[in-house]
Amino acid sequence: MATKIDFSGLSDVIPLAVQDMGELVKSNALEYGDLNNMVSIISDVSVAKKIGFLGALTALGKTSATTGCTYNTINGSISTTEKSWDPTSYDTKMVLCENDIEGTIAELSVKKGVDRMDLTGTAYMDLFEEALDIAIGKMMWRIIWMSDTDAANVSDSPAGYITDGVDLDYVNMIDGLFKRAYTIIAATPAQRVTIAANSEATYALQDSALTPVLALTYAKNIYYNAPLSMRTKMVRDGFTAYCTQSFFDKLTQNFQSFELETMRTDLENGLFSIKINGIPFVPVPEWDEMIETYEDNGVSHRNPHRVLCYAKSNALVGVPSTSTWGTWKSIFSEETDSVYIKIRDMIDALFLHDDLVMVAI
């Protein structure tokens, strides 16, 4: 079955029916923002490529001997560690055929004569390609944030947390940044602020249990509970506390409108951020939508209230080339009279320094 714009949702009663694709109005869907505002895209990444880290020199300066001109000789050393990139391939192929749009308003946009089957360069194809670019953007958000190589559906055995009905191949490509964050706090609990409301048994209780006062307490503890080595860098190195819209809404209820005006910074997407202890808290409604879509067990969501605090330079997305990342290719085949759209690339995501991430979840 070919890919197409399904016009079956439109009336065919003339003259009331939509008769021009230019009359179609986009649905009121959430527009996903620019990932480049939250992560750093790194090119030339390949399987098993290493990232090396240079540690600190061991302690110096022992008490001098009371007599003589001797020195304390030490065997000083500087440790090294490394991380490995492990990018995974993803791909999609779609086939568009002119026969699938015959009898619809799209037929008015097709070419004439021998070129009729070639949909490239038509108004129909323009509309489809616009939707394609939006879908690729959402795909990148899903892969980078929600992927988990151990993903399983709620009803699987053993049970997982991925919404039943979701094809696991959409979410098991890599260990995304949320999976990385869970791994960090499992190894180092001091980097976690626990949001108790996430453990409630229903959607309603998860919402009501997070009070504005608690949200403010958690926001402050992102800074005050951070290990000292991290806290000294949070403001200096430009950390940002990205949070679900659900958390941000409760947080801002602590402040009167005149207070918010002095605290807020307007963002390009029509939202705004506020600063707590010098750290901007930025709402990410895309997270809320993805959690509701992919992490729903039927009665509650998996940790609907989340905050990740880090510097953008610490959240890396690795791809073979930034020039081809997020792109697609379309080809019209004279042999099959169809348009083929292909997507193929590799991707991985990680935090460069695990010890420079604070997680409220």
Q: Which of 270, 293, 27, 9 is nearest to 138 (CA)?
A: 293
Tell me, what's the pLDDT at 15? Answer: 40
Query: What is the tens place of the pLDDT at every residue in 292-338?
Result: 999 999 999 999 999 999 999 999 999 999 998 889 999 999 999 99
Closest CA to 297 of 165, 209, 167, 193: 165
Domain ranges, ordered by start, for the chain:
85-360
Query: How far apart (Å, rounded) are the C-alpha atoms in residues 160 and 192?
Result: 22
Ramachandran sector of residue 49 (left: φ over 0; alpha: ψ -120 to 50; beta: rest): beta
pLDDT at 53: 65
CB distance 229 to 252 below 8 Å:
no
d(CA 352, CA 361): 20
The predicted pLDDT at position 5 comes to 60
Residue-level pLDDT at 100: 81
Which segments within 181-220 are labelled E, that is strand? 192-193
Strands 338-351 and 315-318: antiparallel
What's residue 56's pLDDT?
Answer: 74
Q: Residue 314 and residue 230: Cα distance in Å, rounded?
A: 12
Q: Are 32 and 286 in contact (CB under 8 A)?
A: yes
Is 40:349 a contact under the CB 8 Å cutoff?
Answer: no
Q: Are 148 and 290 in contact (CB under 8 A)?
A: no
Please name the residue that has the structure tokens 């991985």. 348
Task: Report CA-CA distances (Å) from 94 to 4, 142, 154, 329, 342.
Answer: 9, 20, 29, 11, 7
Give how far Cα 45 sits from Cα of 18, 279, 320, 321, 344, Å.
47, 31, 5, 8, 15
Strand 88-97 versus strand 192-193 pairing type: unpaired
Q: Taking the alpha carbons of 225, 227, 232, 236 in that order, is the dihedral positive or negative?
A: negative
Distance separating alpha carbons of residues 16 and 33, to the nearest angstrom:
36
Tens digit of each residue's pLDDT, the chain (361 residues): 566 566 565 445 344 344 454 544 444 456 678 899 999 999 998 877 888 766 777 787 777 776 777 778 778 777 777 788 999 999 999 999 888 887 776 777 888 888 989 989 988 888 889 989 999 999 999 999 999 999 999 999 999 999 999 999 999 999 999 999 999 999 999 999 999 999 999 999 999 999 999 999 999 999 999 999 999 999 999 999 999 999 999 999 998 777 777 778 888 767 889 999 999 999 999 999 999 999 999 999 999 999 999 999 999 999 999 998 889 999 999 999 999 999 999 999 999 999 999 999 9
The dihedral built from the CA positions of residue 186, 192, 196 and 197, taken in this order, carries a sign that is negative
